[in-house]
């Protein structure tokens, strides 16, 4: 399999591992496969029920990878990488929650970060370091994943006072090969410092990118859509649509790649917070794609005004055009008030707490159930509510209910924090990163 940039198919394609190591294509585009592998419904029907993520990786990935060494490694690596559950839990006969928060940092970012770390550890030159700017969840997942590979140094930049206390602990309690820098600035400053450092001639080629546009983070996310859609179909005898809490659009594109591979997925609904660049594009019937300034909301991991993976979405529909896109995908915008209301109602109705991101998808399900004839939905739960305790407590004061921490988060709280606070300049950062 060859990989090409979304911006030009003229270039010579590159291999799967080169695409991962490069992160971004040389022309600034995102890597996409020359053709999405397809599994027929006959083939899928012959697969055993209840396949784990690791079983599915071993069945699906060889068609995406096409490199003998990496494919051989996969049999050993997959069970180590995908070592936690992504269960489907039914709220009622036609709504299931896909729980993606049982990994080490209690958000779905663990799945992509763990795969990327394992592939880097097998394919990258030993002197490489990993650099990542984070607004919250990504940095923690990357730190937790690379902590298992002490030979790879990880450098994380995060904005001071802009991440939740739990998120900060997930960035700063690893020690050893993981260094966290608390930057006196905002997320945009962190991203700028990363770019500036990568452009410094002295550091050229030193760093790998664990940024969310990396193909190695997107591909593993197709696995839980494959698993959940097969499982829903086996249990209910019907095909479900999926509702995805959406920010940078990585998770939404993963759902569409799984659908394109032939897994039984109906409509894909992208639920965003008040950052509505994607919704505006749909409202303009595909005529007007305009990134917008980022708005701060309660679902902070989705605060993205310029979703990078839009390029992959448009590339996927370059032949079918907006008409096909509109058949497969719809968008719903959910504001902060609706997020809080949904978090409150979910507990009243089902005795379940959801994080603010998941609440956008649950709200979308309410709206859409009134509009559609077919009505089977998998609602994607992207993070554990305990990661956003301060927001949960706005809805339900802690005196009214207890929010038990998953064991992964408990162990993080017990560890000492180590961070360096630096001004938002690349020279301050360079001081700590000897050549």
Ligand X SMILES: *Cc1c(COP(=O)(O)O)cnc(C)c1O
d(CA 102, CA 415): 20
d(CA 31, CA 215): 6
What is the closest distance, in whole angstroms, from the C-beta atom of residue 103 to ligand X in the complex? 11
Stretch that binds ligand X, among 73-81, 83-91, 171-179, 245-253 (CB under 6 A): 245-253
Can you say whether the dihedral through the CA atoms of 67, 141, 160, 396 is positive or negative? positive
Q: Which helix (H) or strand (E) holds 377?
A: strand 377-381
Q: Pick the binder of ligand X from 249, 261, 279, 424 (CB under 6 A).
A: 249
Place of tokens 């990935």: 61
First to last CA, the chain: 36
Residue 251 as a binder of ligand X (CB under 6 A): the answer is yes
Return the SS3 of 236: helix
Stretch that binds ligand X, among 44-52, 222-230, 247-255, 257-265 (CB under 6 A): 247-255
What is the closest distance, in whole angstroms, from the C-beta atom of residue 383 to ligand X in the complex? 3
What is the closest distance, in whole angstroms, from the C-beta atom of residue 266 to ligand X in the complex? 19
Asked if 291 and 305 touch (Cβ cutoff 8 Å), the reply is yes
What is the closest distance, in whole angstroms, from the C-beta atom of residue 268 to ligand X in the complex? 12
d(CA 77, CA 97): 28
Residue 382 as a binder of ligand X (CB under 6 A): the answer is yes
In terms of CB distance, is 192 or 357 closer to ligand X? 357
Closest CA to 14 of 220, 27, 265: 27
d(CA 351, CA 396): 12
In terms of CB distance, is 86 or 251 closer to ligand X? 251
Residues 92-131 that bind ligand X (CB under 6 A): 107, 109
In terms of CB distance, is 33 or 385 closer to ligand X? 385
Residue 70 as a binder of ligand X (CB under 6 A): the answer is no
Q: Pick the binder of ligand X from 250, 303, 378, 408 (CB under 6 A).
A: 250
- Phi and psi at 129, nearest 5°, equal -120, 160
Q: Pick the binder of ligand X from 140, 241, 247, 385 (CB under 6 A).
A: 247
Stretch that binds ligand X, among 126-134, 169-177, 248-256, 408-416 (CB under 6 A): 248-256
Asked if 51 and 230 touch (Cβ cutoff 8 Å), the reply is yes
Number of residues that bind ligand X (CB under 6 A): 16
Residue 332 as a binder of ligand X (CB under 6 A): the answer is no
Closest CA to 306 of 289, 284, 282: 289
Cβ contacts of 35 within 8 Å, gap of 6 or more: 1
In terms of CB distance, is 74 or 339 closer to ligand X? 339
Return the SS3 of 414: coil
Asked if 278 and 310 touch (Cβ cutoff 8 Å), the reply is yes
In terms of CB distance, is 33 or 245 closer to ligand X? 245
What is the closest distance, in whole angstroms, from the C-beta atom of residue 68 to ligand X in the complex? 31
Stretch that binds ligand X, among 228-236, 250-258, 338-346, 401-409 (CB under 6 A): 250-258
Pinpoint the alpha helices (H) of 67-153: 68-81, 109-123, 137-146
Residue 303 as a binder of ligand X (CB under 6 A): the answer is no
Residue 217 as a binder of ligand X (CB under 6 A): the answer is no
Q: Pick the binder of ligand X from 99, 110, 137, 311 (CB under 6 A).
A: 137
What is the closest distance, in whole angstroms, from the C-beta atom of residue 381 to ligand X in the complex? 9
**Radius of gyration from C-alpha coordinates of the chain:** 21
What is the closest distance, in whole angstroms, from the C-beta atom of residue 379 to ligand X in the complex? 12
Residue 302 as a binder of ligand X (CB under 6 A): the answer is yes
What is the β-pairing status of strands 129-133 and 31-33? unpaired
Residues that bind ligand X (CB under 6 A): 107, 109, 137, 245-252, 301-302, 357, 382-383
């Amino acid at each position: 399999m060859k990989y090409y940039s979304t911006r030009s198919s003229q270039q010579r394609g590159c291999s799967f591992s080169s695409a991962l190591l490069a992160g971004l294509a040389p022309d600034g585009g995102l890597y996409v496969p020359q053709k999405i592998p397809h599994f027929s419904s006959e083939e899928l029907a012959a697969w055993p029920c209840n396949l784990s993520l690791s079983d599915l990786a071993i069945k699906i990935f060889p068609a995406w990878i096409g490199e003998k060494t990496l494919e051989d490694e996969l049999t050993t690596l997959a069970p180590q990488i995908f070592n936690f559950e992504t269960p489907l839990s039914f709220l009622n006969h036609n709504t299931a929650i896909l729980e993606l928060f049982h990994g080490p940092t209690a958000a779905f970012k663990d799945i992509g970060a763990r795969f990327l770390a394992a592939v880097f550890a097998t394919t990258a030159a030993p002197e490489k370091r990993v650099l990542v700017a984070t607004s919250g969840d990504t940095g923690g997942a990357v730190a937790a994943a690379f902590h298992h590979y002490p030979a790879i140094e990880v450098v994380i930049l995060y904005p001071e006072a802009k991440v939740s206390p739990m998120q900060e602990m997930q960035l700063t309690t690893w020690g050893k090969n993981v260094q966290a820098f608390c930057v006196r600035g905002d997320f945009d400053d962190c991203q700028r410092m990363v770019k500036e450092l990568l452009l410094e001639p002295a550091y050229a080629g030193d760093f790998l990118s664990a940024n969310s546009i990396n193909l190695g983070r997107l591909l593993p996310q197709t696995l839980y859509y494959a698993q959940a859609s097969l499982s829903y179909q086996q249990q209910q005898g019907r095909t479900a649509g999926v509702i995805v809490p959406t920010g940078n659009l990585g998770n939404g594109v993963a759902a569409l790649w799984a659908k394109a591979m032939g897994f039984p997925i109906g409509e894909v609904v992208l639920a965003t917070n008040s950052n509505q660049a994607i919704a505006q594009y749909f409202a303009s019937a595909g005529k007007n794609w305009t990134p917008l300034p980022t708005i701060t909301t309660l679902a902070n991991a989705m605060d993205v005004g310029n979703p990078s993976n839009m390029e992959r979405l448009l590339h996927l529909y370059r032949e079918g055009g907006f008409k096909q896109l509109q058949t497969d995908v719809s968008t719903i915008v959910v504001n902060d008030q609706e997020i809080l209301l949904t978090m409150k109602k979910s507990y009243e109705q089902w005795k379940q707490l959801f994080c603010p991101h998941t609440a956008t998808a649950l709200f979308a399900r309410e709206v859409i159930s009134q509009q559609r004839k077919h009505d089977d939905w998998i609602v994607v739960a992207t993070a554990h509510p305990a990661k956003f305790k301060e927001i949960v407590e706005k809805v339900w004061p802690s005196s009214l209910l207890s929010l038990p921490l998953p064991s992964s988060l408990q162990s993080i709280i017990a560890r000492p924090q180590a961070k360096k606070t630096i001004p938002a300049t690349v020279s301050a950062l360079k001081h700590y990163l000897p050549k």
